[in-house]
Every structure is written in C-alpha cells, then in structure tokens.
Chain A
C-alpha cells in the first residue's frame, strides 16, 4: 500500500470517528430535549415537587442546584486558585511537588460515589450536621478542587514570561506581580475553566446522595433569614438537587407521572449545562478581546 492510499484511509477513518462522536451527541441531546421540552413550562419550574400526586414541579430542586453550586464555588474557587498559584509560582521542582501533583491527580480521578461516602463520614457524621447544603458543597469542593487547581496552574503558566520579567525588573515584589500581572492575564482562562467545572458540579448526583440528602424541607421564599429552617438560604438544611431528584423519582418515586417529571428535569439539567458551556466560551472570548484590544 503506498503512502497516498494510507493517507486517504487515515483521513477517512478520522472523519468517520468525528461523525460517530457528533451523532452520539446530537442523538443524546435531541432524545432528551424531544422527550423533555414538552414537559417544561413555567408551572413546572415554579411548583414544588409532590411525593404522591401527579403535576409536581421542580421549583425547590432547581433552586437547590444553583444554591449548592454557588456555595461550592464560594469555597472551591479561592482554594483552587490559591493551589494553582502555589503550584505555578511557588512550588520548587522536586519530590514534594511531585507528590502534591500526584495527590491532585488521584483526587481528580476518584469516583464521585466514593467522595459521597467520604462526605457522609466527614461532613455528615463527624460534624454531626446531618444532611446539609454545606456538607454537599464541601463534598463537591473535594470533587471539583483538582480541576480548578489544574486549570489555574495551567492558566498562570501560560502567561508569557516576559510580562512577569517586565514586572519583576521594575522592582515589583513577587506577590504583587502575581496579583497585578499574572492573575489578570490568566483570568479569562481560569474563568472559563471554573464555569466548565460549574457545569460538572451542577449535574453531579452521586456525591450529593449521602451529603445533601434526598429531601427538601418546606421552603418559604419570602424568608431570607439564613438561620431559619424554612429559609431557602439556610446552609444547614437538607437539599435535593435536580440531578439527585432525577435519580430519586426514577428509583423510588410514587408519583404517577414519574416519566414526565424525570424527562422534564433532565431537559432542564441539560439545558442549564449547555448554557454554562456557552457562557464560558462567550465570557472568555469577550474578556480576551478586551484585554488584548484585538477585534
């Protein structure tokens, strides 16, 4: 076989692989959306779920998903970006750094159900909190941290070294250089990575089963006191998220419209994750344009 034929075959094989991947994605999306979109209505999004009757919505689950995501990011972003700065700028090449890096990689590859079990031991039993939003957010932080550390480290390393040199040569200290030169330049990449990580957190179920629980107390959205047990803002209450809700109605739901509710919820979930991804791209490129002054 001559090399031209081989080249043509290789091209054909890669196009075929691309087509397979795209058709799986398109198939998956259209299946979920075709089955789910017809159940999504304002009513569906704004009624609380029901345990026995048909016609329940996903109001609380949707709120819980966003709220847990918010709390998770509040904890994970400072830790993750700090870790990334350490790995990129302070860690000296050597054994200890290698060990830290391996730990991060192992953490990144842990199955989320294992993190859920760990969360049950640590954030539910040991602390005595029971099932809480905070416990769920901490479990998701464990799950999410390696990704954010990695993204931040790569983003900081990708800043051209001549910018760093320019700042240091002006007599600027290392920390000030990180703060005023490296972080702003790395920000678009870190933001994109964080939003993509947010998409993963938003759809996570296994790590939350044993940490944030399968139930939500009766919420009063007019109650903004974060210490009241009926307030949606209370971080020490159990909270069932959308992804967990899909799992629970399918495995133990007593309502007659299980399929409608789970299809509708799945569509909302997929659409939200899609929005996260598009948002990540859009904001990333917008900031990039702004700082580099390119058109």
Chain B
C-alpha cells in the first residue's frame, strides 16, 4: 500500500479510541482519508463502522456517555480539541443517513435550508445553489416542475437523493454516507451509485455499506472493520482480490458476518 502524501489527505485519524460507557467500541484506529476519493467501510453489524463515520462530523456527540481519545485531524485541525466549532465542522463535512429524512417542507426549501441558515438570503443566489445541488444528484429533471411540492411526496429513492442534494447545498468538502441505499430498491440504489461516481470528481466521500458489491463498484479504498478494530485498509481492488488478512478474506467470501 502506497503511503499517501500529506497534501492529499483530508482526514488523518490517529490512535482513535471510543467508549460507550464501559463498552470499548473503537480500538486504536489509524485511518488516513484521501481527497476526492471514495472510501468504503465494510464489516459485520456491530463492528463499529457506523460509530466510526459518526465521529468524523462529531454526530457521535448526540449519544450520551461517549468518551474518545486520540486525534481526528481534518486538514490539520484536531476536532477532538474542545475548541472546535461544530457548525463550521458540519458545514465542511456533510452527512447522509440510512433512510431519506427530508424535512416536511417543499423540495426547494429542503435544499435551500442549509444555505439559508448559513446566511444566503438573495433569491437568485439560492436558486442557483438549489438548481446546482439538484443537478449534482440527478434529481433536477424529475422535480424541476414541482419545486414547491412537499418533499415527502417523493419516492424513497428521490427522497434520499434530495437529502444528498441538501447536504451538498452547504458546499461541504467531505460527504459522509451511512448505508445510504440500505432502504432502497435496486434501481434507486444504482442511481445513487452512479451519482457517487460523479460526485467524487468534486467531493471526498466516505460510505458505510453492508453491500460488498456496492463497495467494490463505487470505492477507491476499502476499509474492513471487525469488533471495533480496523483490520485492513487498502485499495478496493486489493481488498477484494488479494486481501492480506485472513479475516478480511473470510468476510468478503461470505464465510462469516
């Protein structure tokens, strides 16, 4: 595995440990994440992959009794430092969740929500952002005639793409996706995967997935987690064709997990 040069890294995670109360959920994670790459995180349920992705924008802080040690550096700044501004961090690191969770508002308002709160008030500027974000997720053609319709009237796959557009509208550098297609049908899943391949031109993407084919289709790097440990991190083709660790091999060949 080639050691990435410093300038290409967005995240550099060093010796990250996390406890939920007494439960040691992440153990000594060292994990560099490169710019404009798709990093997939795979592993069986309860291995810590969702916990890990939630540390990257500190959404983990919503869980009571969480304790963390180590460093999570984003562009050189350690976000486990107390002084970090959550608003700035989350503008920089957007997140998409398992189930599409649009607000009970219109399609336009959903996408414009973040930019509006962050101080963009000019209608023309907002229009531009909304159109661009919806185009980025390939939803524009489907909704351009009904931007004022309620977002909850969209199909599941459209709702999820709308949520991705909503996250993109705040112009993040990194996009975190926590099993974004686990609640979707195969066709909607395919659309989202195609979209991920387009988005990586502009964004750094970290995706947690249960679906190993998905990881192999969309990602450049794949990380395998097991019982709170990062077992193996390498280029996706190496992980799926020639894994170094027998546990990785066991998981991707379906012997356990």
**B-binding residues in A (CB < 8 A):** 160, 162-163, 165-173, 176, 180-181, 184-185, 291-294
What is the bound-complex CA distance between A170 and B116, given in angstroms? 11
Once the chains bind, are A168 and B99 in contact (CB under 8 Å)? no
Once the chains bind, are B87 and A171 in contact (CB under 8 Å)? yes
Provide the residues of chain B in CB contact with A173, threshold 8 Å. 87
- Looking at chain A's contact residues, is the secondary structure mostly helix, strand, loop, or mixed? helix
- Interfacial residues of chain B within 96-121, with CB under 8 A of chain A in the complex: 97, 99, 101-105, 113-114, 117-118
Q: How large is the interface on B (under 10, 10 to 19, 20 to 34, 35 or more residues)?
A: 20 to 34
Once the chains bind, are B104 and A168 in contact (CB under 8 Å)? no
Once the chains bind, are A165 and B59 in contact (CB under 8 Å)? yes
Once the chains bind, are A165 and B86 in contact (CB under 8 Å)? no
Provide the residues of chain A in CB contact with B153, threshold 8 Å. 293
Provide the residues of chain B in CB contact with A184, threshold 8 Å. 104-105
Instruction: Tell which of B88, B104, B113, B152 touches A170, judged by Cβ atoms closer than 8 Å.
Output: B113
What is the bound-complex CA distance between A160 and B117, given in angstroms? 21
**A-binding residues in B (CB < 8 A):** 57, 59, 62, 86-91, 94-95, 97, 99, 101-105, 113-114, 117-118, 149-150, 152-153, 163, 166-167, 170
Known: A165-B97, A292-B150. A172 touches B114 (CB 8 A): yes
What is the bound-complex CA distance between A133 and B87, given in angstroms? 47
Residue from the set A165, A168, A173 with the largest chain B CB neighbour count within 10 Å? A168
Once the chains bind, are A180 and B94 in contact (CB under 8 Å)? no
Closest to A93 in B: B64
A269 to chain B, nearest CB (A): 37
A173 to chain B, nearest CB (A): 6
Instruction: Tell which of B95, B99, B117 touches A169, judged by Cβ atoms closer than 8 Å.
Output: B95
What is the bound-complex CA distance between A55 and B97, given in angstroms? 68
Known: A165-B59, A165-B62. A293 touches B152 (CB 8 A): yes
Provide the residues of chain B in CB contact with A294, threshold 8 Å. 152
